Structure 1
Amino acid sequence: MSIDTGAYGSMTALGRPLRPKRALVALLLLAFAVVPGGFGALTRELMVDAYLQVSAFVAATLLLFYGSERVFRYNIGEALSRARSAQVPLAALMGATPGCGGAVVVVAAYSSGHVSFGAVVATLTATMGDAAFLLIATRPDVAAVVLPLSFTVGVLSGWLIDTLRLAPPLSGKSEDGHLVPLIGQVRRRDMVFLAAAVPGLVMGITQLTGADIGAIYGEMPVLVVGLAGTAIGLAIWATSPLQAMTNSADAPVTRMAEETSFISVWVIGAYLAYDYLAAYGGLDLEAMFATVAPLLPLIGIVIGFVPGCGPQVLVTTLYINGLIPFSALLGNAISNDGDALFPAIAINPRAAVLATVYSAVPALIMAYGFYFLAPGFLN
């Protein structure tokens, strides 16, 4: 039984739209996870890490933002639109919030025409993504310096972009809240996704403290939660009628499940791409950081261009272990856009690339400023 659904192909008897290309990607990722031997084991480990280190935190922050919208009866995008001169600082503040949820919300607001391109640059420059959780947990003294600096740089960058009118034209694919398909009622899959995200968040927070979650919760429960959450997210993404962002009229739990699932696919891809290269292609970031000292801030900034939070968490880990200087950490914190870059790429690739390029300028200035003027600062 099938029903014509236009661009979305056919529908199953359950009424879920089939997205053939997405379904193929989801099945391919799941197939990688069940391959016997080291390859399958590595894939499963990376999927669990991606879920516990990123997806669970994205889900929590999105649910916090969207839930507050519903409880207090306001729309963040419209509130930012009315903020006018305060729009850029508010966007930067949302980006500076640990995790990627705040930055994702600003990107969604830009796609519907509620905020300026300067606000997008501000939030992407200010965000440190999920690496902020790790830094706060292990080096709160450094976090107290990096996060305010990133916020300040984000605000100044956003104002400068808007003043100079450097914004690209909005893509014709802009997803205005009135045009995005309305899902309507809370679905069973949304609640199942939430049920997996709760223990995933608990495990993820525990892992940020440096504890061995396998020893605390058991290897099998950690594996089950990580893989179950990943599989549920892939299923939601593969049957979603949405391109990237959700309709503001949908329930917070539905918006959280849909947008987290979309981001998670990109995160899994980034994790797999990096670690496959490390395991089978000889990529060694620690060796890169062990090269000529003056290149360290630049390497940190370049790694910040990589979408997602995995490489950024690694850079933070290298700093915590004393392998790179503060200047490299700061350059990475300013240049990296976290998981918010994924929906930005899907909605408006040109704007996403330009925002990343613009964030590189203050990253270079700040990183090399600290490198030459305060080489031993917080090292």
Structure 2
Amino acid sequence: MTDLAHTTSIGVGNKLQLFNPRRLAVALLLMILALAPGQLGEVTRAMMIDAYVQVSVFVAATLLIFYGSERLFNYDIGTSLSRAKHWQVPIAALMGATPGCGGAVVVVSAYASGHVSFGAVVATLTATMGDAAFLLIATRPDAAAVVLPLSLAVGVTWGWIVDRFNTSEYRTGTQQSYNTTPVIGKTRLRDVAYLIPAAPALIVGVAQLVQTDLHNVMGIPVGVIGLAGTALGLAIWAMSPLVAMTSSQDTPVTRMAEETSFISVWVIGAYLAYEYVDVFAGLDLATLFNSVAPLLPLVGVLIGFIPGCGPQVLVTTLYINGLIPFSALVGNAIANDGDALFPAIALSPRAAVMATIWSAVPAVILAYAFYLLAPGFMS
């Protein structure tokens, strides 16, 4: 879902924006499934509503706060990182541990430009959980409170170890940067419109976290709010000219709408994949996964090698639904690089491969440490 395809046009600001036909086809398919009669439509609508109120609105709130503070205080973390010298590794790990992929992408670009060490790259890719972090925070904050600090600590430690013992240079040049993200420009009407259902849906999401069910907000049914927000998000995603990340030159509201919509599609896909298999395929997933339980931590690590956030969101969804152990989630969280692996491959392919290999070592060790020593932890 992260590829740029051939296009049809739609206006944005003073420029011609592009449709992605593949995204449009996916969005239309999802809406058709939601409108389907009988159990198929009911299950689809329920999962869309859950994905929106349980994850999307929290992602939107987090991104708005993060990008808003960045704009308000006018700081550029990328520039600060290049001046950090001995503090590059912990700062890079902290940027990676930040939910989403933006921080890790900045570190990867800084490495390609010759401003940070290879250990900083390993640190940020080890610490990052990508967009799956938003899903975990929203649905299992107790598990997130363990996984994210653990990934951060491992990233810092492993990054320092790499800088101490690695003597190879993997950069292909010193003048490259990853700055191909289109600038959208002014805040669009649909960016502001995205806030309208998000505000009441956030109230519903917070209420669910404290075990309170709200059936409507200001007289509007939760289902209507959730489906409206989902439909608007799908429209924004289908019309987006971006691959995944937004430009730092865009406004916080635009960045929030674009990135939340992108993440939401993956979350909806993961929710529906699990629920369809459970309801319609008649497979006992719990029994199936239990039959290969010793391999699940390794499977989590191997899936983490796949570029992008979609597979990682699916792993987190399986954990949330109790189908895989915490050890598999930990292995995946440490091994996965999210969308940051795409610019790493584009700018420094050898560095991307070697950083992934380096991060696999602590991922396997910790995954099986949890599996053998604390099998029921965070279950």
TM-score normalised by structure 2 residue count: 0.75
2-side partners of 1:118 and 1:204: how far apart? Answer: 38
Question: 2:68 maps to what in 1?
Answer: 67
CA deviations over 1:120-140 (Å, ceiling 9, x no partner): 54344334513144443xx4x
Q: Secondary structure at the match of 2:24?
A: helix
Instruction: Say whether residues 1:225 and 2:188 are aligned partners.
Output: no
Secondary structure in structure 2 of the residue aligned to 1:31: helix
Between the two proteins, the alignment pairs up a number of residues equal to 356
**Structure 2 unaligned regions, length at least 5:** none
**Are 1:213 and 2:217 an aligned pair?**
no
Deviation at 1:117, TM superposition (A): 6.4
Are the equivalent residues in 2 in contact too, given 1:122–1:155 (CA < 8 A)? yes
- 2:136 is matched with which residue: 95, 111, 131? 131
Q: List aligned pairs for 1:117-266, cutoff 5 A.
A: 118-119=119-120, 121-127=122-128, 129=133, 130-136=135-141, 139=142, 145-160=146-161, 163=166, 165=168, 175-176=178-179, 179-209=180-210, 211=211, 213-215=213-215, 221-266=221-266
TM-fit CA distance, 1:11:
3.5
Task: Tell me the residue number matched to 1:3.
Answer: none
Q: Percent identity?
A: 55
1:307 partnered with 2:311: yes
* Unaligned stretches of 5+ residues in structure 1: 1-5
CA distance in structure 2 between the partners assigned to 1:116 and 1:196 by the alignment = 43
Deviation string 1:181-217 (CA, Å, 9 cap, x unpaired) is 32222111111112332333333333344x2535576
Aligned-residue offset at 1:71: 0.9
The alpha-carbon distance between structure 1 residues 243 and 213, as it changes in their structure 2 partners (threshold 3 A), is same
Match of 2:38 in 1: 37
Aligned alpha-carbon RMSD (Å)? 4.0
Write out per-residue CA displacement over residues 132-166 of structure 1, whole angstroms, 9 at most, x where no aligned residue.
44443xx4xx6655443221112233445564658
Q: Is the 8 A contact 1:126 1:154 kept in 2?
A: yes
**Matches of 2:44 and 2:344, distance apart in 1:** 28
Q: Which moved more, 1:49-58 or 1:30-39?
A: 49-58
- Cα shift readout 1:19-64 (whole Å, capped 9, x = no counterpart): 1413233222222211112222222222222223332222222222
Distance 2:283 2:105 in 1: 32
Q: Partner amino acid for 2:222?
A: V
* Structure-2 residue corresponding to 1:106: 104
Is the CA contact (8 Å cut-off) linking 2:108 and 2:340 kept in structure 1? no
Q: What does 1:327-342 align with in structure 2 at a 5 Å threshold?
A: 327-335=327-335, 341-342=338-339
Q: Summarize the Cα distance change of 1:275–1:167 in structure 2 as closer, same or farther, 3 Å threshold.
A: farther
- For 2:9, give the aligned amino acid: S
CA contact (8 A) 1:174 1:348 kept: no
In structure 1, distance between residues paired with 2:247 and 2:378: 44
Shift of 1:325: 6.0
TM-score by length of 1: 0.75
Offset of residue 289 of structure 1: 4.2
CA contact (8 A) 2:58 2:138 kept: no
* Conserved 8 A contact 1:307-1:342: no
Any conservation in 1 of the 2:182–2:247 contact (CA below 8 Å)? Answer: yes
Partners of 2:345 and 2:178 in 1: CA distance = 10
